[in-house]
Structure 1
Amino acid sequence: MSLVRKGSRRIVVDEIAYRWVVRRKPTYTQEQGCAMSYAVELEDARGAVLVVQTDHAHPLNFMGEPSKAVLPSDVERAIRLALAQGWAPEVPGAQFQLDLSAA
């Protein structure tokens, strides 16, 4: 799986370029107030995608749960944490799940 370039944002961590995106339209569970997630991958190589579960709701949830924007500093922190936990973004494979909802 690779991310759509349109709507994704670029971030450089330790001189390596990544692209990340928050889904514009919430999933059914995100509409119900469940935690929002976003995806990260290497900019030029197609390897394993990092999926980060946040601790806040999607802005378009129907339940009125509080939400906040995902900042580039949040994405950088998640990338560093995922790399420390074994995410290999250059190796094709299954999504790497990082749950920050309890962090």
Structure 2
Amino acid sequence: MALVKKGSRLITVDGTTYRWRLRGRPTYDQGLVWPPLTYAVEHVGTPGTTQVVTTNQPHPSNWFGIQGSPILPGQVADSIRTALHDGWTPESPGSPFHLDQSAGFVSSH
């Protein structure tokens, strides 16, 4: 399933263009700062397997006002390179590829 284009951003990593997007509004659990922020990445030309990245920070629109830092394009590029190294094949169909970078996240409960 392809990412929604509205609210997504393009990034070129090592000559390949990807689309990435994080959810504008938090899920119920993210609003309560239970799980960390996640974002998704896909190949632009041939969307196949989506990469789902779990960060180590809260969603910026959480209901407690706990500050997190913004996701920067450099972080997205690093996560793409890491996932490719770990076996993500973005042009092949399949289940989402999960990349867990949540080490150090502190839940609100």
Q: Which range, TM-score by smaller chain? A: over 0.9
User: Number of residues paired by the alignment?
Assistant: 103
2:74 match: secondary structure:
helix
Secondary structure of 1:19's aligned partner: strand
Give the strand-richer structure, 1 or 2.
1
List alignment gaps of at least 5 residues for structure 1: none
Rounded to whole Å, the distance in 2 between the matches of 1:7 and 1:62 is 21
Q: How many angstroms apart in 2 are the aligned matches of 1:7 and 1:15?
A: 22
1:11 partner letter = I
SS at match of 1:29: helix
Which runs of 5 or more residues in structure 2 are unaligned? Answer: 105-109
Q: Deviation at 1:81? A: 0.3
Residue 55 of structure 1: SS of its match in structure 2?
Answer: coil
Match of 1:94 in 2: 95
Aligned to 1:12: 12
1:17-36 to structure 2, matched below 5 A, reads 17-33=17-33, 34-36=35-37
CA distance in 2, matches of 1:65, 1:99: 21
Over the aligned positions, Cα root-mean-square deviation in angstroms equals 1.0
Structural mapping, 1:57-96, within 5 Å: 57-96=58-97
TM-score, structure 1 length as denominator? 0.95
Work out the percentage of aligned pairs sharing the same amino acid.
47
Partner SS, residue 55 of structure 2: strand
TM-score, normalised on structure 2? 0.90
